[in-house]
Chains A and B, each alone.
Chain A
């Protein structure tokens, strides 16, 4: 390289770098106002997700220009995303705790938690204590609780799941779910794995139970919507919509739709427990 012109070359390089950094910086600023005004992002609990999807589809059918994007990630992810502004509406399947309570929230419905086992498993009924013993590792074989001999394959949700938090506070109490339990990060995954493994046990949203799995009775109480409503089946938790500040504009409109008679009926038809009586 020629040594002469070194200074002007340096200057040239410097100015180019400066211009590049300036343009990158301004690009960063611009990205803040990028979100489409006609779209709403809803993220969080995988339990609430399918129901939010149905609401969204119905809403978008009535208002074609609007885009409502729903995604999962789990309740903790939804709460985090709401706090950071990444999502417009957060979904949670557990109550808010600690600093989270500063968020605006509304309960759109309630749902039970069903304890599910494989249809081939002859057991039909367990007590809360027996379930807790399975999950903290005290009971390891089905024949210890009246079933066919075989190891219990325990499935749980991930740490950030609202369903798991609710399960832990309602069933486990002070005990911890054992480290050996296998972790999956959605209701659907747990349902599918329990449906395939004759020795499996798991817990999912009551509204998502289908014919591929069997939901256990709790101490004689059948896990049904009626029993959750009348309080005899006491494994239930709230479905919440969250927002960083009180909703306005399109977000408010969608939440109003969710809480309206029409929206609540949709949720009721999907199997959830709603706050408005007589849909």
Chain B
């Protein structure tokens, strides 16, 4: 290249390109979110939130989907959190760093990256068919639990690991047992990180679709027990949208989904900030 371009010019061009990229991203965000919210919120009525769907979802509300979402998420969190956090504690506190722990960490890392659809396939074969749980909240929740387990293990381990060793040493030097150290020192310090992992897990449960259809089913009725099939908001939205049953209701459901996830994220941030601030 024989042409000499003034560096100031390249600077200006680069700046323009970079600013446009940022504006593009913001624009995308707005078109997606504002479009869906603007088309969906007008159709969110009190009725919509408190009735169950009828006529394949063309009319009625989404109460059963809301309940279904809560149910599978709660099952998943209740099962995965103790297992995940406990495993993280075991790995960091009770074992020495070795080849085995490296393998375990790599496996957890890989399993966290497996596409949800593979978990769905596993859940369908194992929970629904083999264990005869059928299409149920239990099948769906357990499948989700297995799905978020690696993430919770990984983030909890990371969080516990980054607690300064000094905390532990001080606690031991004051005569504390390992258990006391864990409950009074480590857990509180690592809590923001652990909570982040759990929040990530909740987010994944709420957004999951393909795995849920195959394990919790897609029944429209209000679930009556852990063994009832149930629809989640994401599944309901998918069915309404892909089959063109009711675009209005689809937008409304999508709007609720987005608002729900927004609230979860905000709540999580508030919780974490409050906790971190309290400890200062």
Contacts and interface: CB of A to CB of B under 8 A. Distances in A.
Contacts of A84: 129
Contacts of A43: 135, 217
Contacts of A95: none
Given A36-B225, A67-B228, A186-B243, A57 B134 contact: no
A189 B243 CA distance: 4
Contact of B219 (A35, A69, A86, A184): A69
Contacts of A62: none
Given A34-B138, A67-B224, A71-B218, 6 more contacts: A36-B225, A39-B224, A70-B220, A71-B229, A87-B135, A189-B244
A188 interface: yes
Nearest to B222: A67
Given A36-B227, A86-B128, A192 B242 contact: yes
24 contacts: A28-B131, A32-B132, A34-B226, A35-B227, A41-B217, A41-B229, A49-B56, A57-B55, A67-B221, A69-B219, A69-B220, A70-B219, A71-B135, A71-B229, A72-B218, A85-B132, A86-B128, A87-B134, A184-B242, A188-B244, A188-B245, A189-B242, A192-B243, A195-B244
Contacts of A68: 221
Interface residues of A, number: 33
A43 B215 CA distance: 13
Interface string A78-94: 00000011110000000
A87 B135 CA distance: 8
B54 A188 contact: no
Contact of A39 (B56, B138, B228, B245): B228
A250 to B, nearest CB: 14
Interface of B: 54-56, 128-129, 131-136, 138, 217-221, 224-229, 242-245
Nearest to B243: A188
A39 B134 CA distance: 12
Contacts of B221: 60, 67-69
B53 to A, nearest CB: 10
Interface in A1-55: 28, 31-32, 34-36, 39, 41, 43, 49-50, 53
A69 B135 CA distance: 10
A186 B240 CA distance: 12
B133 to A, nearest CB: 6
Contacts of A187: 243
B244 A192 contact: yes
A191 interface: yes
A36 B228 contact: yes
B52 to A, nearest CB: 11
Nearest to A210: B244
A262 to B, nearest CB: 19
B56 A50 contact: yes
A68 B224 CA distance: 11
Nearest to B244: A192
Contacts of B133: 31, 34
Interface in A255-269: none
Interface in A163-201: 184, 186-189, 191-192, 195
The 10 A-B residue pairs with the shortest CB-CB distance, nearest first, are A188-B243, A192-B244, A69-B219, A34-B227, A71-B218, A69-B229, A189-B242, A71-B217, A186-B243, A67-B221
Contacts of B218: 71-72
Nearest to A70: B219
Nearest to A208: B243
Nearest to A46: B243
B157 to A, nearest CB: 20
B8 to A, nearest CB: 50
B242 A188 contact: yes
